[in-house]
Amino acid sequence: MAERETWATRLGFLLAAIGSAVGLGNIWRFPFITSENGGAAFLVVYLLAVLVIGLPAILAEFVIGRRANTSAIGAFRKLGRPGWWFVGAVGVIAAFWTLSYYSVIGGWVLRYIGGSVTGNALAAPEGYFGAISVGLSSIGTHAVFMLITIGIVALGIEDGIELATKVMVPAVVVMLVGLAVFAATLPGASEGYAFFLNPDFDVIVSNFGSVLPAAFGQALFSLSLGFSVMITYASYLGEDDSLPVDGFSIAVSNTAIGVLAGLVVLPLLFAQGIEAGGGGPGAVFVAIPTALAELPGGELVGQAVGIVFFGVILIAALSSAISLLEAAVAFLVDNYGFSRLPTAAGLGAVVFALGIPSAYDTAWLNWFDGIGVTLLLPLAVLLVVLFVGWVLGRDAIDELRTGSTSGSLASIWLWWLRTVVLAVVVIVVALNLWDLFATPDTGYYFIPSPLR
Ligand code: PHE
């Protein structure tokens, strides 16, 4: 078998990991979930969640990946704990599952770039979304999005993922900064900032039970945890990298880009007096074009801003989608010696098929999202934390220290992972299960709503 690939440079790995982390979660989900949960107060809880849970957990995935130097499922055998293979398997299945509808949303975004060029997306936002988000149209754009994702993954680590994200991540930052500067010039933008940046802690206190899991879930999803993605990416790393420094850089960049996205979306909506909340997968696709259509300066300004806005989301979504596909591709390539191109194409085709119900009807998309992000993701994180904290133990400390100077920090990290992180993740899983089964509108979640 050919020698296993590695990242060409450390920066390459960092950008690929940031590209994975920064996605629909930051630019599409984060501003909306923030506005539904009390604005700035939610932001504070989210920041706390990244620091207290996200950062230690990402280091746990890095430790598994780099030490094993192989993809997520085989990693456990390499680490001398073959019985724990299912930890990686849950993650890979979760990645596969999530990509199926992530790609459907990516397809909508693709369509909205076209809709911004022609102006149709802005002319009648609700009708446009209703037309392109279901049926054959949505299945078609889902196929195109998957094809691009497959193409990049098929090119490999260095020539595909690393090269692509080296362009994509800087592009996202530049475009978002441009949009934020533009949004700042809008009359009424300051109300958006006030909502986003002035915490109203009453909202948190009175909605504790829902704000908390929402913030922690968002932190995990947004750092690409629980999907074996960070395990896989770290498996292509060399020994001389400092994992704590890398993890910290990724967490900070990811959060900064999420905040930057908020500084675009919230002023844009508030300037036009549009309700930001209301959630649902369609929210951004209806609210934003409505705001764009009313921008001062006329239609062309709205269309131009729309092209850049949906362009950013597309790039961010693609750099996340490739990491989700890579988690599964790496497994087959590493364990069975399959070659990359047919593996990426074959798995991509299966993901496409799995996504057809979500593309056909958004009720299915909601169901897939519910199972993927509310259940599989925290469950996978729980298993990873349990494994690294209580099974790997001292080996984990060793690995974290390799390439870094943080001697005693590593011991504190392990202790923290075993206790606080584990406890919080257990609570999140429990609250999510409760929500899935006991809330009237989402209850009995295992029977998908289209079949009820
Ligand atoms: N972090 C990505 C986002 O915020 C989603 C993702 C999760 C990507 C897990 C890969 C793995 O959109």
pLDDT tens digits for range 27-71: 888 877 887 787 888 888 999 999 999 999 999 999 999 999 998
Please name the residues in contact with 318: beta carbons below 8 A apart, sequence gap of 6 or more.
106, 145, 148, 149, 152, 164, 168
Mean pLDDT of 11-18: 96
For atom 10 of ligand 1, the residue with the nearest CA is 224
Predicted confidence band of residue 1 (pLDDT cuts 50, 70, 90): very low
Whole-prediction pTM value? 0.93
Q: What is the CA radius of gyration of the chain?
A: 21
The span from the CA of 439 to the CA of 58, in Å, is 31
Residue showing tokens 């606080």:
420
Q: How far from the centroid of its chain's Cα atoms is residue 205's Cα?
A: 27
Instruction: Report pLDDT for 442.
Output: 54
Mean pLDDT of 437-444: 60
Rounded to the nearest angstrom, the distance between the alpha carbon of 269 and the centre of ligand 1 is 25
Please name the residues in contact with 438: beta carbons below 8 A apart, sequence gap of 6 or more.
none
Predicted confidence band of residue 449 (pLDDT cuts 50, 70, 90): confident
More confident of the two residues 451 and 110: 110
Whether 198 shows a pLDDT value over 90: the answer reads no
The span from the CA of 161 to the CA of 169, in Å, is 12
Angle between the 10-21 and 243-271 helix axes, to the nearest 10 degrees? 40
Pocket test for ligand 1, best of 149, 222, 230 (most atoms within 8 A of CB): 222
- 246: its two tokens: 């890398």
Whether 80 shows a pLDDT value over 70: the answer reads yes
Rounded to the nearest angstrom, the distance between the alpha carbon of 233 and the centre of ligand 1 is 13
Altogether, the residues listed in the chain come to a count of: 452
The pLDDT tens digits of the residues spanning 336-376 come to 999 999 999 999 999 999 999 999 998 899 889 888 888 89
DSSP state string for 152-191: HHHT-IIIIIIHHHHHHHHHHHHHHHHHHHHHHTSTTHHH
DSSP state string for 29-80: IHHHHHHHTTTHHHHHHHHHHIIIIIHHHHHHHHHHHHHHTS-TTTHHHHTT
